Structures are given as structure tokens and as C-alpha cells.
Amino acid sequence: MNSREEWLRGLRRNSGPLGALVVFVLMFSLYLLEHPRSISVGIVTTASNKAALLAIVAMAQTLPVITRGLDLSVGMVMVLTSCLASVVVNGAPWQVALGVVLVLVAGAAAGALNGAIIVFGRLQPIIVTLATGAVFFGLALLLRPSPGGEVSEGLSDALTGRLFGTVPTTLVLLVAVILLGWMPFRRTVIGRSCYAVGSSEQAAFLSGVPLQRAKFIAYTAAGLLSGLAGLLLSLISLSGEASSPQAGLYTLNSIAAVVIGGTSLYGGTGGMVGSVIGAFVLRTIGDLLFVFDAPALWQPLFEGLILLGAVCIGALHVLRLRNRLDLF
């Protein structure tokens, strides 16, 4: 196979994320052109901070979807860890650092609970995460029955501001998670096992793939990333709030972002890079409607149309693969 064929093959394999990237660039360019204040570092930073939250939750959703599952608790874990952060991420620098670790550990523990019930209880992920999500929301209400709390302003300025006065820190955070977390993980045995489980669990079992370990780690990692999103949410708002509608919205939009980014709900394909791009596409819809002074009710309409298009394209790809297999 020559270099041109390899390039075309890679292009087809990454058609989903690339398509989402093209859509995002067009939409964001239109947003900047129509914005009354034109382009500025402040506008880009604000857009980045809003999109980064959904992007991290979408990254959390990606791993369960790759294993042909679904995590309906990612939004609730985000809210729970945000409320926890409003309690523990303050004080002296060492207390802030300890609080950050505690928040991330709490997120990972919530994900590990999901994974343990799914793997050892042999239950459907949708049912398990729907039930545990209600539990996590109850814990969030226990921590923050009303909005409030305090979060380190120094850490908030560091993670929601700009590096060198121009680059949004949240963009750097997303790139760091992808380069230091996702890229190495997908090349590990467990990372490849997640894809194998999603492609065909029976074939993976017959091939000796560690199915249980792959699923458990997938949901644990989803909880960890949801905890990171919760930490970021508290740093943006400088408080904590247990809001079920907000959690549900982030959960549903995370699924939409994953699909728009090219990850198939049938499992076995996709990745976090596409999910991040999909999240930015969804967030830009609201910004576009704002600059064009369109009714707010149009946002779910456009989000639904884009999601429907992405699902249809993914379904056609799966149908073509099945038709090829039927020939043999």
C-alpha cells in the first residue's frame, strides 16, 4: 500500500471528526463575523470556557459509547463533584491541592461504582447509570441544598483565564487531556480492548480480550473526567449548585457531541478528539443564535437536526459494513 492509499484510508477512517471540524470552523467564523464586538481574545476565551465544560463531559461519555454502552450519570457526577469542590477546594494552597485530588477521586469512585455494577452485576449500562445518577444527584443536594460555597479564586483565574494573555487556558487543558491521557490510553492493551468489546463482545471474548477489566476502566475513566468537568464548573461559577435540569442537559448533549464527532453508538469506533469537536459545534449553535437575535427555542431544533444528520451518516456507514460482510 503506497502513501497515497494510506492517506486516503486515514481520511476515510477519520471522516467523522474531520466533517465535524469543517462544520465548526464555518459556524465559528460566521459567529465572529456577526458578533457586534468583532473578534477579540475575551470573546474567544468566553466561548472556550463554555465549550470546554461540555467537551470534557463528552470525553467522559466517549469511552462507554466505544464499549457499546452509555453513561447517563456523567452530568450528575459533574454536578456532585462541583458541589464537593465548593466545599473542599479553598483555603491554603496545600488545602486547595488536596481538595482538587479529593474531587477527582470522588469522580473516579462514582465511575468505578458504575463499572462494578455493570461488570459484576451483568446489568444494562443505561439502567445502572440512570439509577446511580439519581443517587449522585441526591448526594449533591445533601452537600448543597441551596447554591453557595467558596472556591479558590487563584485556581479559578489560572484555569479559566489566558496563557501569555492570548491562549485560553481551557483549550490548553483539553489538549493536555488528549495528549497525556487519551492518546497513550488508546494504544494500551485496555484501550484496544475497549474498541474490541464495542466491535464484537463475543469475538473479543473468544480472542481472550479482558472484557471485564476494559469495561470497568472505561466507566471509571468516565467518572474521572466527569469529576474534572465538575471541578471546572465550580471554578467558572466560583460556587456549587445541585441542579438536576443542568445535569440532564449536559448528559444528553454529551451523547449528541459524541455522535456528531464521529463515534458510533454501535461501539467500536471513534475517539475523544471527535467528541471535543462535536461539543464545540453544539456550543457554537447557541452563540450563533445569539448574534443573529434568533428565538432561544430554535437552539434545540438546530441541535436536533445536526444530531439527526450525524446519526444517519453513522448508520449508513455501519449498514455499508454489514452489507460487505453479508457478501462473504
Greater pLDDT, 109 or 162: 109
Predicted local confidence at residue 285, as pLDDT: 81
Q: Which three cell numbers stand for residue 223?
A: 467518572
Check whether 4 has a pLDDT greater than 90: no
Cβ-based neighbour number of residue 105 at 10 Å: 15
Predicted local confidence at residue 62, as pLDDT: 94
Greater pLDDT, 210 or 323: 210
To the nearest 5 percent, what fractions of the chain are helix, strand and coil? 80, 0, 20
Name the nearest CA neighbour of 21 among 264, 279, 252: 279
Mean pLDDT on 196-200: 84
**Cα distance between the two ends of the chain:** 23
pTM of the model: 0.88
Q: Is 91 left (phi over 0), alpha (psi -120 to 50) or beta?
A: left
Reported as a pLDDT band with limits 50, 70 and 90, residue 326 is very low
Predicted local confidence at residue 325, as pLDDT: 41
Buried/exposed code over 167-192 (b: 16+ C-beta within 10 A; e: otherwise): bbbbbebbeebbeebbeebbeeebbe
Greater pLDDT, 8 or 51: 51
Question: Percent of the chain, pLDDT > 70?
Answer: 85
Report pLDDT digits (tens) over 184-196.
Answer: 998 899 989 999 8
Least confident of 41-55, 173-187, 263-277: 41-55
Report pLDDT digits (tens) over 258-300.
Answer: 988 888 888 888 889 989 998 988 888 877 777 777 776 676 7
Predicted local confidence at residue 27, as pLDDT: 82
Predicted local confidence at residue 2, as pLDDT: 58
Strands 162-163 and 167-168: antiparallel
Backbone angles phi, psi at 40, to 5 degrees: -155, 160
Reported as a pLDDT band with limits 50, 70 and 90, residue 154 is confident
Reported as a pLDDT band with limits 50, 70 and 90, residue 112 is very high
